Amino acid sequence: MNNTDAIIKKHVQEGGRLTRDDALILAREASIHDLGNLGNARRQAIHGNKAYYVYNQHLNYTNVCQNACKFCAYSKREGQPGGYVYSMDEIRKRLLSRIDEPIREIHIVGGLNPGLTYDYFLNMLRTVHEIRPQATIKAFTAVEIAFLSSTYHKSVAEVLADLQEAGLEAMTGGGAEIFDTQLRQKICPEKISGSQWLDIHSQAHSEGIYSNCTMLFGHLETWENRIDHLQALRELQDSTGGFLCFIPLPYQPENNELKAKGPDGNDFLRTIAISRLYLDNIPHIKAYWAYAGVKAAQLALWAGADDFDGTIVEEKIGHAAGSASPSGLGEKQLREYITAAGFSPVQRDTFFREIENISA
């Protein structure tokens, strides 16, 4: 019996928890066929043939950012050409332009813009809630929460409480990148540490704010870095149970200073499968079509992912770095892509509660 066969028997087929060392062996030695089958078997055991999607709208309120992450092609420094900030009127206009659509979630992230007031963020949430009272507001990364805390001299707890009162119901998972301290200094030296990211999500969970979690991969990191990242997420989930979904984000190689190669299809699918096997306590794994592309996301549903994300319109951050996927999809297209991949499309809300689809 070889190493991968022994690991499969001990941890996967018998339901045991995958160890760090065994995950590394699987990631490096298992064939993509075997690894994909293992990831799919786990996702089928949890979700059957369902593949989820959400009817959502993205709102990237500013690209002005005081950080300069080397992998980012989206941000602009204050005063730099191409920088923008949405006024409340512009936010209102963008939301009203799709008011006839049954949008269930508003996803809000932006840069760390020192020119904005604290009230801007609260007013933005109130405006969104006023226009879309039935939609869940999923907003801000831990990096943005830390920025609000430090810039406006408030504790993280105070910021979270203020945002909740204004309409925040869930947090996004961005800004995690890779938790390894030395690697973080190379790719995003101005960003909060991995331990700070984890602490902010822990505090959010304690206040009843569920969140997603992410990992940026395919740049300078090793498999050891990836598994250690997953381990930190798994440990926090053991403690709080507050993560809804894990999103492996393939690095986009264009228009940024890092200039790494980016993951190929094999690496993407291996990462999806390992994530599904290792994160046994996080219920959902996302195949984020906006970064991976539709075809790769369809294949990822066979490697362990169960969520296809949503309609989006319009995603700006990944596309600034060269993502070739559409900036948004219609619900009909989403359902067709999921069905064509061999799965049953299920509309969900932010918290993965199933929604009856009358038009399906």
Domain range summary for the chain, segments of one domain joined by +: 48-347
| CATH for the stretch 48-347 | 3.20.20.70
Band (360; pLDDT cuts 50, 70, 90):
very low
In the prediction, which pLDDT does 262 show?
A: 80
Band (315; pLDDT cuts 50, 70, 90):
very low
Q: Residue 182 corresponds to which tokens in the numbers above? A: 């030395």
Backbone angles phi and psi of 324, in degrees to 5 = -95, 0
In the prediction, which pLDDT does 296 show?
A: 94
- Decide if 198 contacts 241 (C-beta within 8 A): no
- pTM of model > 0.85: yes
For 126-130, 238-242, 250-254, 274-278, which range has the lowest pLDDT when averaged over its residues?
250-254
Q: pLDDT digit string (tens) for 123-165?
A: 999 999 999 999 999 999 999 999 999 999 999 999 999 999 9
For residue 324, is pLDDT > 50?
no
For residue 51, is pLDDT > 50?
yes
For residue 254, is pLDDT > 90?
no
Band (9; pLDDT cuts 50, 70, 90):
low
> Could you tell me which residue, 360 or 160, shows the higher pLDDT?
160
> Could you tell me which residue, 78 or 197, shows the higher pLDDT?
197
- Decide if 143 contacts 112 (C-beta within 8 A): yes
> Could you tell me which residue, 358 or 128, shows the higher pLDDT?
128
Q: pLDDT digit string (tens) for 198-224?
A: 999 999 999 999 999 999 999 999 999
In the prediction, which pLDDT does 57 show?
A: 94
pLDDT above 70 as % of the chain: 91
∠ CA(317), CA(152), CA(162), 5° rounding? 80
For residue 321, is pLDDT > 60?
no
Band (46; pLDDT cuts 50, 70, 90):
very high
What mean pLDDT is predicted for residues 333-360? 89
**What is the residue-averaged pLDDT of the chain?**
90
For residue 319, is pLDDT > 50?
no
For residue 99, is pLDDT > 80?
yes
Backbone angles phi and psi of 104, in degrees to 5 = -100, -20
